[in-house]
Structure 1
Amino acid sequence: MLQTRIPSPREIESPTQESASLEQTLSVVVSLIGRQYPVMIFVMCLCMGLAGVYLLTASKRYTGTAVLLIDSRKMQGLQTQAPAGGDSPIDSAMVDSQVEVLKSETIATSVIKQLNLLDSREFTGNEGGLLTSISDLFSGLFPEQRPSQDALMRIAIGKLASNLSIKRVGLSYVIEISYQALSPDQAARVANAVADGYINDSLESKYQASRRAAVWLQDRLKELRAQASSAERAVVDFKAKNNIVDAGGRLLTEQQLAEINSSLTQARAQRAEAQAKLERITSILNADDNDSKVILNDLATVTDTMNNPVITKLRQTYLDYAARQADWSNRYGPTHLAVVNLRNQMREIRHSITEELRRTAEVYKSDLAIAKAREESGQKSLNDTIALSNGTNQAQIALRDLESNAQSARALSDNFLQLYMVSVQQQSFPITEARVITQASNAPNKTSPKTTLILLAALIGGAILAGGVAILLDMLDRVFRTVSQVEQHLHTSCLASIPTIGSEQSVGLSGHPLLSKAGRLFNRRAKRAQPPAARPAPAQASGLPQRSELGSSFPQPHRDRLLTANDSVGRYVINSPFSRFAEGFRSIKLACDLSSYGSSNKVVGITSGLPNEGKSTISEALAQTVAQGGSRTLLIDGDIRNPSLTARLAPTAKAGLIDVVLGRVNWTEAVWIDPQTNLHFLPCVVSSRFSNSSDVLASPQMERLFQHLREHYDRIVLDLSPLAPVIDVRATGALADSYVLVIEWAKAKVDILERVLSETPIVRERLLGAVLNKVNMAVMTRYDIYSAGYYRNRYYERYGYVD
């Protein structure tokens, strides 16, 4: 009802609101339940009713259970050798496979034939119940032919499979066989018959398999023996043809190749050693003959020269002469005859050493040639042996294939011989791994329908469905019901929430010009309930300016132009000043006053999205509230297409806004006055509908008139046409300073208002705020969870509220 403040983004992201998210969520859920609880109760009752009908009409069914064990140890008595790992476990997938075998049509067919189930109506007809009764009722009108035996068998198999339940107990080898039937005896008989049928089918399948395997193995064994002998003969013939000799598990060519490779390695080492010696002694011989010191030092690095007695003796003599020559040179000088002779002798010794080295080098050349010849011979032998070995290896590839074929044929023959012996034994001792450990009994065990489970499922499902339906209906409810919706979708403040007047039978703000009988009775009671000081005083008794104080140009009241519609809806703010209705308009007035600071906001345009949303009533009530506050107030009916305000307040008016604009009368002669609040009203009198009403509102004459009126009035309330059907509001940009958008509560569509505001930028830019009209406060508390206590607070009476 009062002006609502839009929270800032900082407040929205505050930790306080984040911590209150759970509380808000719970509040939203509670609010949704409060709004949609009739639909939710209906849906839940419907689900519970359907569950009850099912429980009353469904046939009672009983379950018989037999327990089967897959025992892997039964076959050990027939095995000739025990497995290496002890007991041979049955694979988990094998147990699951046996479950599927139990569900097969073969077992079902044997059970049906064993128990003669084709004669039972439970397997070939309907099972009873509500649907069956309805079906039997109509089946007499349309006789059908009796199905064939095969068709009956298919029907019986389907019924048996639908009521049969086979499951493995955990990860064990135990299989549980359960069957549901209309009688406990029938359920037990079918469950036991399924277990017996499985055991008989297993025995029969094993016997037939063993018999077929024995016949086939006997014929196959003869072929395999012949193939094994032929493969072994082929191996022997191939070895003889390719000269493949095996000596101690190794071929002769492989032994020869290893020996030749070893000899070749030694020959290469000897050749390398001889070549190195020759190169070293050749480098010594190529050295400078005058450098005796270098020659002597190089000789020491050759092993053969050190072992040569001639070179050793010459080298020792040379060293003695060199020492003597150095001594005599120091004593007698380098030119002395003895020193010169020593030098000549040393030269002869070096020449002898060189000659001896040349003979040694020739020996090295001979050794190198021998080593090379030996190496070439070994390489040739190696190449010949490799070529022979490659041929043998190629033959060995084919030989290995032949040997592998021979071994495979012999192993396969031995394996088939063993299988044949086992197969013959199994024909004599047929046995199965399965055995029944618990027979199904015919004790009553009702399993269907499960009353508690069905009722619980219906309750939970009904609650979920009811919640879904409630959420869907709430999402489809695209109308304005709360202040927050107005602020969120229209991005403007909601100035007030105007409630309906009186009970739901009264017209309230429905757009009707007069209150209903119940509404008028409510007004009279409200007036009598007001204290004397709270009743509205006439303009003369209040502190408001008198008509004599308004100036000579201000229109004076005329007895033919006095507003006397005391039972008008807009007059309710005067008759019941302590009502929520009146408090809402004081909120709108306060918003208009606050917006006037710093700018001129004299002319306030009242409009709505669609017709019949109560904009004219809002205009009248707002003007009455402003006028009651002492301001010089003018109410103008600017809805030229449909001047409903004029028809309500001044139905006998002869001149109005159009006449003033056209210059037919002065505006002071067309104004009507309310003697109680001194409200001035300029009606709009039209003899026929205007097609160019927007041109009149946008005309220069209209703009000059409003400029003149601004000089005489403090506040001008302009009742405009709706936004959606006509474009008149778009032409009032030069007339109105701000706009107030009237929204009919629970009727105005969100999409329509968003569209019309986007198409009317002048209204969006100057929009002062919105007003929720015709609000049902009792219902609104179920939608606006945050202000529920605000809308319905019994302590408001302390502040004078009477509604």
Structure 2
Amino acid sequence: MSALIDQVTGLARRQYRVFIIVPAVALAIGLLYLLVTPSQYTATTTLLIDSTTLRVLQNQLQPQGDVPLDTLQVGSQVEILASRKLGLAVVRDLHLADDPEFAGAGSWNPFASSGATEDREQHALDEFLAHRSIARADKTYALNISYTSKSAATAAKIANAIAEAYIDDQLGAKYQTVTRAGAWLQDRINELKSKAAAADRAVLDFKEKNNIVDLGGAGTSAAGANTFSRLIGEQQLYELNSQLATARGATSEAKARLDRIEQVRKMDVSEGAVADTLKNEVITRLRNQYMDLSAREANISGRYGADHAAAANLRDQMEELRRNIRAELGRIAGSYRSDYEIARTREENLERSLATLVSEGQLTNRDKLGLAELESSAKVYHTLFDNFLQRYMEAIQQQSFPITDARIISPAVAPTKKSKPVTSLVLAIALSLGLMASVGIAALREAVDGVFRTARQAEQELGARCLSVIPLASASASPVLPRSGAAMVTDPPDLAALPPPQGALEPAVTEEQRYAFSDSLKRRAVDDPISVFTEAFRAIKVSAWLQANVRENKVIGITSTLPSEGKSTVAANLAALMADAGRRVVLIDADLRNPTLARSLTPRPQAGWLEVMSGKLDLAQATGREPTTGLALLPLLLTEAPVHSDEVLASQGFRDLLERLRQSYDYIIVDLPPLAPVVDVRAIVPAIDSFVFVVEWGATSVKTVRRHLLAETELHDRLLGVVLNKANLRMLERFEQPGIYQNGYYMRGG
């Protein structure tokens, strides 16, 4: 989230002019639109589609009552209001074809000079429809009829005229519909009356022909159709069927009692179910006596033995009680059997009677089917006749009532404020469009920028650390004089003591050559030590020192993608700053295509390291020194551009030269040619410990740098870091956090 906020705020800082200018232009366009657009006024009439009023057409076949309108019906009324027929009625009623606003006054109109009334009315109708609107209020039956005109009075007059024309149209349409419906209903009633009479006569004739007598009351025929009467046979069959059902129930009940008494007779007298099931007082009394004697017999047998006379006497009494209980149960069973036989006999008689009636009824089924069909047809004709007669009477009554489903509940009045254009809305839309356009333009500018702007961007695109961002500095054409009181921390190496290359002649040792930079920008980091410019080079220097703790990092190559990105200036300032800090540093100009070090020194050198490699000159004679910092300078002089410059840099002689310099210097800064135009840098990669890649801020294409740098994997692996050069600090603050690249910190003294 914080990263997104940073991106948004950064975009606002970078493109703030776009965010100011584009909305301002949009607001100006909106103001101009308000000035040139004439004011328009909108009047609104509210029309209510009342669901409680009388309906004739759409409810002719429905019961009369308050039937609410559904959404589709209200939508249909909206379409009627929006129809050209209703609009043409308003145009003709208000004579809008003669109104200059509708006839096209003030503009070329092919119908204005024409005498065709119909053409002028059609043109006025088109103008009318273009400024009229119909809308339904949410979840109500109210319709808002609005009209917009240059005149407030005209807008109110036309809005009310639309509502009145709609009501008149509804009345006319209803009268015509009711008149046509009444005529149709009358014809239909006469037809149904004759058909109902014919159907009644057919029913009577059928009954007389087939000797069918009814008992009255509603019934159901064998075919399942409702009839006006119930036949005699059907009545008898219905009653006999009920009696049979009752008889079968009685038979089942008697059979259940008989089965139960047979089960009880098989039980022992001592079982409680004998008395509990039958609920017979005699059996209950006998069983209680039996149980009492059984208890006494058991008591006496326990005291005196089972053979005692008293015990035997009690057992005889108990046996007598058993016989009495069995006899009573036999009497009850006989009574139940008799009831069962009577019920079964009655059931069989009823079944035989029912079978006889059924067989007789089958002979008259065809007659009953015919009667049911005739009676059903007669009933339908009578029902239709009654309904149509009722509707016809209602239609006749309502022909004299001028009632519609619509009424005006809020007539239009002349508005006091204009409706179009709305100043706040126009300005809000203009500002919104301006803001959206500004965002789009700003995003487009960001997308097509395609150059390096921030250290984070360089690290993400190139996969390497961004060492520093060097601000753009102006150069001075005058030579820089040595600073007074400048002291060297360490003595420079004795160049004459360096071993000459193999096979080289031993030249005479001359006095050391002293140089000064004619371009002050080459040593700006030394001359202006308390500045953002110098601080950027200190960051490179510290990175080089830290890298030396990891692996050997004496030979540092300075290169770039394209020429004129400031790599030579970066190399000179970095070497001078390191030397001024007390390090033994030598700066080598290794750009064989465009050597710049010799041209920026005063006095102009007369020899360079090519002469040392060829054996014409000793290394000490070719090396000069900048006295204020002790920086050793090894320039390059060319009489003509070498054809195979890459062979020179990749040669063993150049490697031997670097090896000799490693023995005497802490750092060897090599100003290399750019990477894109020539292949020299690729040839010297193995001899360089690390590379500083210079990219011109806001100028060099990201795609170009990626294509050339990332293609050289060995160079990328040896990369110390990337330096963004020639940065515009004021513009840089739009991409970075404000206040980072400012000199104010140094001015505050800590």
Q: Which has the higher helix share?
A: 1
What is the RMSD of the two structures over their aligned residues, measured on CA atoms? Answer: 5.8
Unaligned runs of 5+ in 1: 1-17, 285-294, 503-514, 528-534
1:201 equivalent in alignment to 2:169: yes
Contact kept? 1:275, 1:368, Cα under 8 Å? no
The change in CA–CA distance for 1:489 and 1:77 in structure 2 (over 3 A counts) is closer
1:500 maps to amino acid: L
- What displacement does 1:759 show? 3.1
> How many Å separate the matches in 2 of 1:721 and 1:486?
21
Contact 2:510 2:621 (8 Å CA) reproduced: no
Give the Cα separation in 2 of the matches to 1:85 and 1:144. 53
Single out whichever of 724-733 and 229-238 deviates more from structure 2. 229-238
Q: How does the TM-score come out when normalised to structure 2?
A: 0.74
The question of whether the paired residues in 2 share the 8 Å contact of 1:263 and 1:378 is answered with no
Q: Contact 1:608 / 1:741 at 8 angstroms: preserved in 2?
A: yes
Residue 591 (structure 1) shift: 2.1
Amino acid corresponding to residue 242 of structure 2 in structure 1: A
Conservation of the 8 A alpha-carbon contact between 1:35 and 1:783: yes
What secondary structure sits across from 1:789 in the alignment? coil
Alpha-carbon distance in structure 1 between the residues aligned to 2:305 and 2:435: 137
Shift of 1:714: 0.6
Amino acid of the residue matched to residue 43 of structure 2? Answer: T
Amino acid at match of 1:790: I
The residue that corresponds to 1:536 in the other structure is 483
Aligned-partner Cα distance in 2 for 1:466–1:152: 47
Query: In the alignment, residue 425 of structure 1 is paired with which amino acid?
Result: Q
Q: Shift of residue 780 of structure 1?
A: 1.6
CA shift for structure 1 position 622: 0.9
Aligned 8 A contact 1:606 1:741 in 2: yes
Paired residue secondary structure (1:51): helix
Using the TM superposition, give the Cα deviation of residue 213 of structure 1 relative to its aligned residue in structure 2, in angstroms: 1.6
Cα distance, 1:576–1:127 mapped onto 2, change above 3 Å = same
1:219 to partner: Cα distance: 2.0
1:32 CA displacement: 3.7
In structure 2, what residue type is equivalent to 1:599?
R
How far apart are residue 190 of structure 1 and its match? 3.2
- Counterpart CA distance in 1 for 2:444 and 2:654 is 50
- The question of 1:267 aligning with 2:251 is answered yes
* 1:217 matched residue in structure 2: 185
Cα displacement string for residues 238-295 of structure 1 (whole angstroms, at most 9, x for unaligned residues): 99989896776676444433332232133233334444555676x78xxxxxxxxxx7
> Which SS does the other structure have where 1:569 is aligned?
helix
Relative distance call for 1:211 and 1:712 in structure 2 (3 A) is same
Distance 1:792 1:377, change over 3 A: same
For 1:431-442, what aligned pairs fall within 5 Å after superposition? 431-435=403-407
Q: Does 1:589 align with 2:536?
A: no
1:44 aligned to which of 14, 23, 26: 23
The match for 2:471 is 499
- Asked whether the equivalents of residues 61 and 180 of structure 1 are also in contact (C-alpha less than 8 Å), the reply is no
The aligned counterpart of 1:571 is 523
Q: Greater CA deviation, 215-224 or 174-183?
A: 174-183
1:483 to 430, 455, 467: 455
* Alignment of structure 1 residues 675-754 onto 2, 5 Å: 675-683=627-635, 687-688=640-641, 690=643, 693=646, 703=655, 705-724=657-676, 728-754=680-706
Superposed CA deviations along residues 283-325 of structure 1, whole A, max 9, x for unmatched, are 78xxxxxxxxxx7768995999x9999xx99x99xx99x989x
TM-aligned CA deviation for residue 105 of structure 1: 0.8
Quick check: 1:796 aligned with 2:743?
A: no
How far residue 756 of structure 1 moved from its aligned partner, in angstroms, is: 4.5
Q: Is the 8 A contact 1:62 1:444 kept in 2?
A: no
Greater CA deviation, 65-74 or 267-276? 65-74
- For 1:413, give the aligned amino acid: F
1:109 aligned to 80, 88, 98, which one? Answer: 88
Q: Which residue of 2 is the match for residue 532 of structure 1?
A: none
Q: Report the alpha carbon displacement of residue 157 of structure 1 after superposing the two structures with TM.
A: 2.7
Matches within 5 A, 1:167-206: 167=135, 175-184=143-152, 186-206=154-174
Per-residue CA deviations over 1:653-697 (Å, capped at 9, x if unaligned) read 66546973x87876556545444433334445664465682x665
When residues 615 and 71 of structure 1 are mapped into structure 2, their CA distance, relative to the original with a 3 A threshold, is closer
Q: CA deviation at 1:778?
A: 1.8
CA gap of 1:300–1:682, structure 2 versus 1, over 3 A, is closer
C-alpha deviations, 1:434-470, integer Å up to 9, x for none? 4556766678765444445434543443234324422
Q: Any conservation in 1 of the 2:41–2:415 contact (CA below 8 Å)?
A: no
The residue type equivalent to 1:271 in the other structure is K
Change (3 A) 1:745 1:272: same
Indicate which of 437, 449, 474 corresponds to 2:446.
474
After TM superposition, the structure 1 stretch with the greater mean CA deviation from structure 2, 93-102 or 256-265, is 93-102
Counterpart of 1:420, as a letter, is: Y
TM-score where L is the length of structure 1: 0.70
Match of 1:421 in 2: 393
Contact 1:64/1:179, CA 8 A, preserved across alignment? yes
State which drifts further: 185-194 or 233-242: 233-242
Task: State the identity as a percent.
Answer: 33
Q: 1:699 to 1:358 in 2, by over 3 A?
A: farther
User: 1:233 & 1:754 partners in 2: Cα distance?
Assistant: 108
Contact 1:278/1:364, CA 8 A, preserved across alignment:
no
Per the TM alignment, residue 100 of structure 1 is displaced from its structure 2 partner at its CA by 3.8
Name the SS of the counterpart of 2:187 in structure 1: helix
- For residue 163 of structure 1, the aligned residue among 110, 127, 131 is 131
The answer (yes or no) to whether the contact 1:63–1:188 under 8 Å persists in 2 is no
Task: Report if the CA contact (8 A) 1:274-1:367 is conserved.
Answer: no
